[in-house]
Amino acid sequence: MAGGEDSCRALLRAANALLQQRRYHAALAVIKGFRNGLVYGAKIRAPHALVMTFLFKSGSLREKLKSIAQATYAHSRNLAYFVFTYKGLLAAQSQLQGKKIPFHSFLAACIGGWLVFGDNNPINSQV
């Protein structure tokens, strides 16, 4: 049992050493942002969709639950795509210019918002 515990600790040390290297910071920020967008989108949209569906939609329970799941999935996916695009564009701009400029955030947000939320659908119109 001790051999398995030692190898697990060694693996954790190696993973922590990799995560602390500065050269991987931008890539890890993009991945973490994507994950956080998914989680935040689900945490925010699911309760909202639940309340709004049961207050204002008619239909069977199955249809209502399907509607809640679809709205939560779409919102969560859109936020994850937006954060992924935003962080990716920020990293690309700072890599190309060698430094961070406040305008980078504005440009990345505009492009990400246009790409992700540009379609006219019920989820995007609520955002």
DSSP secondary structure string, 58-103?
-S-HHHHHHHHHHHHHHHHHHHHHHHHHHHHHHHHHHHHHSS--HH
| pLDDT, position 106 | 92
- Per cent of the chain over pLDDT 90 is 38
| pLDDT tens digit sequence for 25-82 | 888 889 999 999 999 989 988 999 899 999 998 899 999 999 999 989 988 999 999 9
Instruction: Between 87 and 95, name the one with better pLDDT.
Output: 87
3-state secondary structure of 58: coil
* 95, 88 Cβ separation under 8 angstroms: no
